[in-house]
Structure 1
């Protein structure tokens, strides 16, 4: 994910809009995206703050719960193909749903 814009820029953009300038004029003036301006004004209205929202998943990534399972299987000389087959045996895994030939464990 990208780095957040500095608070100084955020405050100048919001002040520009609050001074009566349009949401379309602000991006041209500060050379930012219109979406950034709109989201910033919404953030200010909802939270009263210009601090960026938290990025990423709360509590880590989507695969954190499966880390132990993968580490147990990678302790030996297991290849990636063997790991995929082991995973297919544990759950139904479809690599490309539009092509039945590439579905592992689905049938």
Structure 2
């Protein structure tokens, strides 16, 4: 069972149907707090929903999470991919040192590995114990 203090980590937006019903209840002259009690949602949700509707005309939820392509390694994508393709058996600490040497940017080896995995690279171990990064087939 997941502790109740962790619920905020896995939050989901309320459905559009519920949002429409709460907004409709408020439109009929009821207060935002009364709408919250009636539908079993928090008062802050009803208040913020109505404020958002007045400001933007939309009741749709905001996008959640960080936008893609906003990390500090994005501008070095070509450099990193070129370095891995030039030397497929490069280790992540070596790649981090190369990035620091050439561009004066620090990056943890784990961050570099996740970055390359998102670009389709996998780490393959060979029978002799040496590994190399290769691009996945599309």
Relative to the length of structure 1, the TM-score reads: 0.61
Pairing 1:61–2:69 present: yes
Determine if contact 2:96/2:107 at 8 Å carries over to the other structure: no
**C-alpha distance after superposition, 1:9-62 (max 9, x if no partner):** 1111112233344433433432334333232112210122223344552xx321
Indicate which of 38, 57, 80 corresponds to 1:70. Answer: 80
1:34 aligned partner: 43
**Count, aligned residues:** 93
Cα gap change, 1:50/1:74 in structure 2, threshold over 3 Å: closer, same or farther?
Answer: same
Indicate which of 55, 59, 65 corresponds to 1:50. Answer: 59
Q: Where do 5+ consecutive residues of structure 2 fail to align?
A: 1-9, 109-138
Relative to the length of structure 2, the TM-score reads: 0.50
Tell me, in whole angstroms, the C-alpha distance in 2 between the residues paired with 1:33 and 1:66: 44
Tell me, in whole angstroms, the C-alpha distance in 2 between the residues paired with 1:81 and 1:94: 9
2:118 aligned partner: none
Q: Where do 5+ consecutive residues of structure 1 fail to align?
A: 96-107
Tell me, in whole angstroms, the C-alpha distance in 2 between the residues paired with 1:73 and 1:34: 53
Determine if contact 2:22/2:39 at 8 Å carries over to the other structure: yes
Runs ≥4 residues deviating over 4 A: none
Cα gap change, 1:65/1:3 in structure 2, threshold over 3 Å: closer, same or farther?
Answer: farther
Alignment root-mean-square deviation, CA: 2.9
Determine if contact 2:33/2:47 at 8 Å carries over to the other structure: no
